[in-house]
Chains A and B, each alone.
Chain A
Amino acid sequence: LAKTTQPISMDSYEGQEVNITCSHNNIATNDYITWYQQFPSQGPRFIIQGYKTKVTNEVASLFIPADRKSSTLSLPRVSLSDTAVYYCLVGGNQGGKLIFGQGTELSVKP
């Protein structure tokens, strides 16, 4: 399974756009890129998934360049409630085990 590398922590202020980049140099052809969000004392929550180019939903956008060796999760106009740990996962096994790294701890300040 492709290993991912992402920053350990990031700080931001309310109203700013936050971009979290994940490197996955060994991504395989059939791998998808998935991001989860985890608040303290809660289970992770699926937020977005993509294969290539750009995906947008009501929560975030996911940018994937043509070589797919990295991806960027974009959170528009963050609020204090976006303070959480964000995990980047790479894999293609439907329903299979999720491999989590350490994630990026995002702290949003007023």
Chain B
Amino acid sequence: DAGVTQSPTHLIKTRGQQVTLRCSPKSGHDTVSWYQQALGQGPQFIFQYYEEEERQRGNFPDRFSGHQFPNYSSELNVNALLLGDSALYLCASSLRGGRHYEQYFGPGTRLTVT
């Protein structure tokens, strides 16, 4: 049973560029959430996708956008990168109607903006 997978593992971008991160949820899960984790901080919720629509959104600017595909996989896009966007980006999957607050996280993508 495959867990949550993310690609790429690491990424280095320059200010102003755009980036796309990818996530495949755990088998059987239909909901994908994205989180940003700065060094030494807890993960911060970006948004959540279910049935190919954004269902909830955290306090992140419109530069952050996403997509969910019919096979439940998801992408996170960040435009006009800033130095402050450097962080670990985590994808988490869950099953709608599943246990409260139980999400399965991937290993993350480490994004460095220079």
Contact = CB atoms under 8 A, between A and B. Distances in A.
Nearest to A92: B100
A110 interface: no
Interface string A61-75: 000000000000000
B41 A96 contact: no
Interface string B62-100: 000000000000000000000000001011101111111
Interface residues of B, number: 34
A94 B30 CA distance: 13
Nearest to A85: B42
Contact of B103 (A46, A92, A99, A102): A46
Interface stretch (A15-23, A37-45, A52-60): A37-45
Interface string B20-40: 000000000001010100001
A95 B43 contact: no
B92 A95 contact: no
Contacts of B40: 102
Contacts of A91: 100-101
Interface of B: 4, 31, 33, 35, 40-45, 48, 50, 56, 58, 88, 90-92, 94-108, 110
What 5 pairs between A and B have smallest CB-CB spacing? Answer: A43-B105, A100-B42, A97-B45, A34-B101, A32-B100
Interface of A: 32, 34, 41-46, 49, 87, 89, 91-103
